[in-house]
């Protein structure tokens, strides 16, 4: 079984402990039971897979169709930009 240590503000911890003890009682394991239930509930609510989302590849397909340059040309231009930017910074620092 996994173990998880979390850090939270004191007021949130007090509220969680109070709710856990109220729901599960003052017995050994009640905090773990409350945390497990809270995490499961949160996970089901926020991370259920949404089948309505489209394929991410299809979502970006055709996004740059208006660009008339090839991917190789774009790569060269981006590297030229990066090199120029680096050279300008280097020259500012090392030219007296």
Two tokens, residue 63: 């996004």
Residue numbers in the chain where pLDDT is lower than 70: 46-53, 95-96
Over the stretch 56-81, which tens digit does the pLDDT of each residue have? 888 888 888 888 998 899 999 999 99
Scanning the chain, the segments in alpha helix (DSSP H) are: 10-24, 30-46, 56-60, 71-94
Mean pLDDT of the chain: 86
- CB distance 3 to 17 below 8 Å: no
What's the pLDDT score for residue 50?
59
The torsion of the CA quartet 61, 66, 71, 74, rounded to 10 degrees, works out to -130
């Amino acid at each position: 079984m996994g173990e998880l240590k979390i850090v939270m503000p004191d007021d949130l911890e007090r509220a969680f402990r109070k709710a856990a003890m109220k729901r599960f009682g003052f017995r050994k394991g009640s905090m773990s039971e409350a945390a497990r239930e809270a995490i499961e509930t949160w996970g089901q609510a926020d991370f259920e897979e949404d089948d309505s989302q489209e394929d991410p590849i299809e979502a970006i397909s055709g996004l740059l169709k208006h660009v008339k340059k090839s991917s190789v040309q774009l790569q060269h231009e981006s590297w030229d930009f990066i090199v120029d930017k680096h050279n300008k910074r280097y020259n500012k620092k090392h030219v007296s």
